[in-house]
Amino acid sequence: MANVTVIGAQWGDEGKGKIVDWLASRADAVVRFQGGHNAGHTLVIDGKTYKLSLLPSGIVSGTLSVIGNGVVLDPWALRDEVAKVEGQGVSITDDNLAIADNCPLILPLHRDLDGLRETAAGKGKIGTTGRGIGPAYEDKVGRRAIRVCDLAHLDTLEPQLDRLCAHHDALRAGFGQPPVDRAALLEELREIAPFVLRFAQPVWKRLKKVRRAGAKILFEGAQGVLLDVDHGTYPFVTSSNTVSGTAASGSGLGPNSTGFVLGIVKAYTTRVGSGPFPTELEDDIGQRLGERGHEFGTVTGRKRRVGWFDAVLVRQSCAISGVTGIALTKIDVLDGLEKVAICTGYRLRGKVYDYLPSHAADQAECEPIYEEMPGWSESTAGARSYADLPANAIKYIQRIQELIECPVALVSTSPERDDTILMRDPFVD
């Protein structure tokens, strides 16, 4: 298999950035296929830290980086991110960055609506990042979105603005807000258009050419399967499909292009925002894991909730997304614990479940069933071969494989690119 698709198999924040960067150094193109700038990837290369949101992780290594049509693009956020990364010495041109010309835009009115809804929702709020992702996806499926290609035709945009503003003006009125300032919006679009159009093209054509040349393509997912709008802990999810199948529709390449599906899995569990979390730890161990793992959102800075590894959820994610193998990250965060625990099932009103029920009320009541294992006092940090790991850490990894019914392909032992144990090569297997 020449291509690899990388997805998060938990609630996001699994360490995809480091793994994607490690793989990107061997790929010929890296493609973002869903999500927006609510997703954050942190790369540490030779001691230098890069924090990316919209830019594919391959951009740092100079690999062709593609923002696919499945992404919702905030052009102003992208410009700021490009300026920041260029300030760190990374060259970004239309040779190494391509944006799908049919990619929908996140506009200021989307950010406004996101904030208004969350504020008004009270206890029912989802816990969004407030960046307009959900409203932008709504406008896409509602057929009223402004897309990248429209930036080249702003003089004929009035009919689309009529549809867009008819929808948003009614919503804004309900929140006691004035109508959209169409003149100001058009002016903002005229100002940003030259920057975005430098990179705009039919990326499906470029990727088709790359694939025909026999080159390796890396598809980079955002968030995680448990935040998928269909398969996640609804309604506490993102607004896009995060499963591996979206790599095809969100890039313009067919489903036979996605290749090896690598699920990124943290050695424990975290999530940000509201929603069920069966294995959440609100004790000293949870505090310790959060501090050692630096569990704060790359984009928002919000503190992440922390819990034991949930094999039920990861097994479910692997099945739904057709995961070929997993990359286990942050195992070094567990170093020094006397005991570690893995959730193997749930107890709900006297019944044992080997999957997470679909209804939010049932999910909230699920009680984890744990299997305890001895921890390890030795350090795993920086290990680069399986033989370097403590015996109990190896047993922990092996037990995870058994419970999730999926093999471990990689083990990451620090944020550094080279601190990676390769057990199966996704670009070869």
- How open is the CA angle 382-296-322, to the nearest 5 degrees? 70
CATH of 4-101+199-260, one of 2.60.40.10, 3.40.440.10, 3.30.70.270, 3.20.20.140: 3.40.440.10
pLDDT at 182 over 80: yes
pLDDT at residue 298, rounded to an integer? 58
pLDDT in tens, 306-350: 999 999 999 999 999 999 999 999 999 999 999 999 999 999 999
Average pLDDT, the chain: 92
Give the domain ranges of the chain: 4-101+199-260, 108-196, 265-422
Residue carrying the six token digits 């088709």: 208
Of 89, 26, 30, 60, nearest in space to 420 by CA: 26
At position 248, the amino acid (one-letter code) is: A
**Is 41 a catalytic site residue?**
yes
Model confidence pLDDT, tens digit, residues 116-140 = 988 887 777 766 778 899 999 999 9
Q: Summarize pLDDT for 86-115 with one digit per residue, the tens.
A: 999 999 999 999 999 999 999 999 999 998
Cα first-last separation, the chain: 6
Predicted local confidence at residue 127, as pLDDT: 67
Residues 416/418/420/424 CA torsion (nearest 10 deg): 140
Cα 181 to the center of its chain, rounded Å: 33
Categorize the per-residue pLDDT at 71 as very low, low, confident or very high, splitting at 50, 70 and 90. Answer: very high
| pLDDT value at 17 more than 90 | no
Q: Is the pLDDT of residue 301 over 70?
A: no
Which pLDDT band, with edges at 50, 70 and 90, does 300 fall under?
low
With both helix axes pointing from N to C terminus, report the angle between 182-197 and 75-86 in degrees, rounded to the nearest 10: 40
Superfamily of domain 265-422: Adenylosuccinate Synthetase, subunit A, domain 3 (3.90.170.10)
Our answer to whether residue 150 is catalytic in this structure is no
Which secondary structure element, helix H or strand E, spans residue 409, and what is its range? strand 408-412
In this structure, what token pair is assigned to residue 95?
Answer: 């040779």
Q: What percent of the chain has pLDDT over 70?
A: 97
Lowest mean pLDDT among 19-23, 75-79, 270-274, 366-370: 19-23
Whether the Cβ atoms of residue 242 and residue 222 lie closer than 8 Å to each other? yes
Query: Could you report the per-residue pLDDT of 143-178, keeping only the tens digit for each?
Result: 999 999 999 999 999 999 999 999 999 999 999 999
Whether 1 shows a pLDDT value over 60: the answer reads: no
Determine what percent of the chain is predicted with pLDDT higher than 90.
77
What CATH topology corresponds to 108-196?
Adenylosuccinate Synthetase, subunit A; domain 2 (1.10.300)
Contacts of 197 (CB under 8 A, 6+ apart): 148, 151, 152
Asked if 230 and 39 count as a contact pair (C-beta separation under 8 A), the reply is no
pLDDT attached to residue 362: 96
Checking if the pLDDT of 238 tops 70, the result is yes
Q: Output the pTM of the full model.
A: 0.92
pLDDT over threshold 80, residue 4: yes
Q: Please, where are the H alpha helices in 297-388?
A: 311-321, 360-365
Dihedrals phi, psi of 385, to nearest 5 degrees: -145, 155
Burial class (CB in 10 A: 0-12, 13-18, 19+), 369: middle
CA–CA separation, 315 and 326 (whole Å): 11
Which of 127-131, 168-172, 192-196, 237-241 has the lowest average pLDDT? 127-131
Task: Identify whether the C-beta of residue 239 lies closer than 8 Å to the C-beta of residue 137.
Answer: yes
Q: What is the CA radius of gyration of the chain?
A: 22
Give the C-alpha separation, 247 to 255, whole Å.
Answer: 8
Closest-CA residue to 273 (of 303, 228, 241): 303
Average pLDDT on 250-259 reads 91
Closest listed residue to residue 304, CA positions, set 342, 275, 343, 325: 275
* Predicted pLDDT at 429: 67
Confidence of residue 296 (pLDDT cuts 50, 70, 90): confident
Catalytic one of 37, 41, 110, 167 = 41
Cα 249 from Cα 387, distance rounded (Å): 41
Q: What are the DSSP calls for 114-175, one per residue?
A: HHHHHHHHGGG-----SSSHHHHHHHHHTT---BGGGGG-GGG-HHHHHHHHHHHHHHHHHT
Tokens of 340: 């570690």
Q: Looking at the DSSP assignment, which residues form a beta bridge with residue 410? A: 327, 422
In sequence order, what are the beta bridge partners of 340? Answer: 373
The stretch 351-355 carries a mean pLDDT of: 97
- The reply to whether domains 4-101+199-260 and 265-422 share a CATH topology is no
CA 320, CA 231: separation in Å to the nearest integer?
8
Bigger pLDDT: 13 vs 193:
193
What pLDDT is recorded for position 79? 97
